[in-house]
Protein backbone atom coordinates (compact mmCIF):
# COMPACT_ATOMS: atom_id res chain seq x y z
CA UNK A 1 0.00 0.00 0.00
CA UNK A 2 1.67 3.24 -1.12
CA UNK A 3 2.06 5.89 1.60
CA UNK A 4 2.66 9.58 0.94
CA UNK A 5 3.34 12.53 3.20
CA UNK A 6 2.30 16.06 2.45
CA UNK A 7 3.46 19.12 4.36
CA UNK A 8 0.79 21.65 3.38
CA UNK A 9 -2.71 22.08 2.00
CA UNK A 10 -1.20 22.89 -1.42
CA UNK A 11 0.80 19.63 -1.40
CA UNK A 12 -2.32 17.65 -0.47
CA UNK A 13 -4.25 19.25 -3.34
CA UNK A 14 -1.35 18.50 -5.72
CA UNK A 15 -1.34 14.85 -4.62
CA UNK A 16 -5.07 14.69 -5.34
CA UNK A 17 -4.45 16.09 -8.83
CA UNK A 18 -1.83 13.41 -9.52
CA UNK A 19 -4.13 10.69 -8.24
CA UNK A 20 -6.95 11.92 -10.49
CA UNK A 21 -4.88 11.23 -13.60
CA UNK A 22 -5.01 7.51 -12.84
CA UNK A 23 -8.64 7.16 -11.77
CA UNK A 24 -10.82 5.17 -14.15
CA UNK A 25 -14.24 6.47 -15.15
CA UNK A 26 -16.84 5.46 -12.61
CA UNK A 27 -14.33 4.84 -9.80
CA UNK A 28 -15.57 4.97 -6.22
CA UNK A 29 -13.08 6.48 -3.79
CA UNK A 30 -13.60 6.35 -0.04
CA UNK A 31 -11.84 9.14 1.82
CA UNK A 32 -11.21 7.82 5.33
CA UNK A 33 -9.88 9.79 8.29
CA UNK A 34 -10.80 11.68 11.42
CA UNK A 35 -12.23 15.20 11.38
CA UNK A 36 -9.55 17.56 10.08
CA UNK A 37 -7.51 14.80 8.45
CA UNK A 38 -7.64 16.47 5.03
CA UNK A 39 -10.39 14.53 3.22
CA UNK A 40 -12.00 17.58 1.62
CA UNK A 41 -8.60 19.07 0.79
CA UNK A 42 -7.62 15.90 -1.09
CA UNK A 43 -11.03 15.94 -2.79
CA UNK A 44 -10.27 19.49 -4.02
CA UNK A 45 -7.19 18.16 -5.81
CA UNK A 46 -9.00 15.16 -7.29
CA UNK A 47 -11.84 17.33 -8.59
CA UNK A 48 -9.32 19.77 -10.09
CA UNK A 49 -7.28 16.93 -11.60
CA UNK A 50 -10.41 15.60 -13.31
CA UNK A 51 -11.06 19.05 -14.76
CA UNK A 52 -14.44 19.35 -13.04
CA UNK A 53 -13.84 22.46 -10.86
CA UNK A 54 -11.17 24.60 -9.26
CA UNK A 55 -10.17 23.86 -5.65
CA UNK A 56 -11.81 27.01 -4.29
CA UNK A 57 -15.15 25.80 -5.74
CA UNK A 58 -14.98 22.47 -3.89
CA UNK A 59 -16.67 22.60 -0.49
CA UNK A 60 -17.42 19.91 2.04
CA UNK A 61 -20.91 18.51 1.38
CA UNK A 62 -21.48 17.96 5.12
CA UNK A 63 -24.90 19.64 5.10
CA UNK A 64 -26.00 19.12 1.49
CA UNK A 65 -24.67 15.52 1.55
CA UNK A 66 -23.81 15.44 -2.18
CA UNK A 67 -22.10 17.97 -4.44
CA UNK A 68 -21.84 17.51 -8.20
CA UNK A 69 -18.95 18.92 -10.22
CA UNK A 70 -18.64 19.20 -13.98
CA UNK A 71 -21.27 19.24 -16.70
CA UNK A 72 -22.18 16.56 -17.34
CA UNK A 73 -21.25 15.37 -13.87
CA UNK A 74 -17.64 14.20 -13.78
CA UNK A 75 -17.44 13.93 -9.98
CA UNK A 76 -19.89 13.41 -7.15
CA UNK A 77 -18.58 14.36 -3.71
CA UNK A 78 -20.56 12.68 -0.93
CA UNK A 79 -20.27 13.22 2.83
CA UNK A 80 -21.99 10.69 5.10
CA UNK A 81 -20.84 12.22 8.40
CA UNK A 82 -24.31 13.44 9.40
CA UNK A 83 -26.08 10.20 8.42
CA UNK A 84 -26.99 8.05 11.42
CA UNK A 85 -27.76 4.66 9.91
CA UNK A 86 -27.51 2.59 6.74
CA UNK A 87 -31.24 2.95 6.01
CA UNK A 88 -30.87 6.72 5.79
CA UNK A 89 -27.73 6.42 3.67
CA UNK A 90 -29.52 4.02 1.31
CA UNK A 91 -32.18 6.67 0.54
CA UNK A 92 -29.57 8.98 -1.04
CA UNK A 93 -29.50 7.05 -4.33
CA UNK A 94 -25.85 6.10 -4.00
CA UNK A 95 -26.31 3.01 -6.19
CA UNK A 96 -27.24 5.26 -9.09
CA UNK A 97 -24.07 7.30 -8.56
CA UNK A 98 -21.91 4.17 -8.27
CA UNK A 99 -23.36 2.75 -11.51
CA UNK A 100 -22.69 5.89 -13.54
CA UNK A 101 -19.60 7.14 -15.37
CA UNK A 102 -18.69 9.84 -12.83
CA UNK A 103 -16.02 9.41 -10.17
CA UNK A 104 -17.65 9.22 -6.73
CA UNK A 105 -15.70 10.54 -3.74
CA UNK A 106 -17.22 9.43 -0.43
CA UNK A 107 -16.20 10.93 2.89
CA UNK A 108 -17.08 8.74 5.90
CA UNK A 109 -18.13 5.89 3.57
CA UNK A 110 -16.41 3.36 5.81
CA UNK A 111 -19.29 3.88 8.27
CA UNK A 112 -21.58 2.15 5.77
CA UNK A 113 -19.20 -0.27 4.09
CA UNK A 114 -22.10 -2.58 3.23
CA UNK A 115 -23.48 0.10 0.89
CA UNK A 116 -20.18 0.72 -0.90
CA UNK A 117 -19.14 -1.11 -4.07
CA UNK A 118 -16.87 -4.11 -3.52
CA UNK A 119 -14.45 -2.60 -6.05
CA UNK A 120 -13.24 0.70 -4.70
CA UNK A 121 -10.22 2.73 -3.78
CA UNK A 122 -9.77 3.49 -0.10
CA UNK A 123 -7.63 6.48 0.79
CA UNK A 124 -6.73 6.85 4.45
CA UNK A 125 -5.64 10.26 5.70
CA UNK A 126 -4.01 10.94 9.04
CA UNK A 127 -3.12 14.34 10.44
CA UNK A 128 0.41 14.60 11.79
CA UNK A 129 2.10 17.73 13.17
CA UNK A 130 0.81 21.06 11.85
CA UNK A 131 -0.32 20.76 8.23
CA UNK A 132 1.47 17.45 7.64
CA UNK A 133 -0.63 14.53 6.46
CA UNK A 134 0.07 10.84 5.92
CA UNK A 135 -1.98 9.47 3.03
CA UNK A 136 -2.19 5.81 2.04
CA UNK A 137 -4.02 4.07 -0.79
CA UNK A 138 -5.63 0.65 -0.94
CA UNK A 139 -7.40 -0.89 -3.94
CA UNK A 140 -10.28 -3.21 -3.04
CA UNK A 141 -11.26 -5.76 -5.67
CA UNK A 142 -14.12 -8.25 -5.74
- Cα Rg for the chain, rounded, in angstroms? 14
Overall number of domains in the chain: 1
Q: What is the pTM of this model?
A: 0.95
Task: List the one residue out of 46, 6, 29 whose CA is nearest residue 134.
Answer: 6
The enclosing H or E element of 15 equals helix 9-20
**29 contacts 120 by C-beta, under 8 angstroms:** yes
| pLDDT, tens digit, 9 for 90 and up, residues 20-30 | 999 999 999 99
Q: 103: Cβ–Cβ under 8 A, 6 or more apart, which residues?
A: 20, 23, 25, 26, 27, 28, 29, 46, 50, 74, 75, 76
pLDDT range class, residue 18, cuts 50, 70, 90: very high
Chain centre distance of CA 56: 16
Sheet harboring 103-107: ordered strands across? 3-6, 133-140, 120-127, 28-32, 103-107, 75-79, 66-69
Provide the pLDDT for residue 81. 94
* Distance (Å, whole) CA 56 – CA 59: 8
Provide the pLDDT for residue 140. 87
| pLDDT, tens digit, 9 for 90 and up, residues 82-141 | 999 999 998 999 999 999 999 999 999 999 999 999 999 999 999 999 999 999 999 887
**9 contacts 131 by C-beta, under 8 angstroms:** yes
CATH at residue 40: 3.40.50.300
The range of the structural domain enclosing residue 115 comes to 3-140
Amino acid sequence: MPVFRTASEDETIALGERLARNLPRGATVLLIGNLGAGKTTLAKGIVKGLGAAQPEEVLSPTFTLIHEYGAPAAVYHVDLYRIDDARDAATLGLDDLFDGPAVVLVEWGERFAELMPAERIEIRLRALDGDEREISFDLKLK
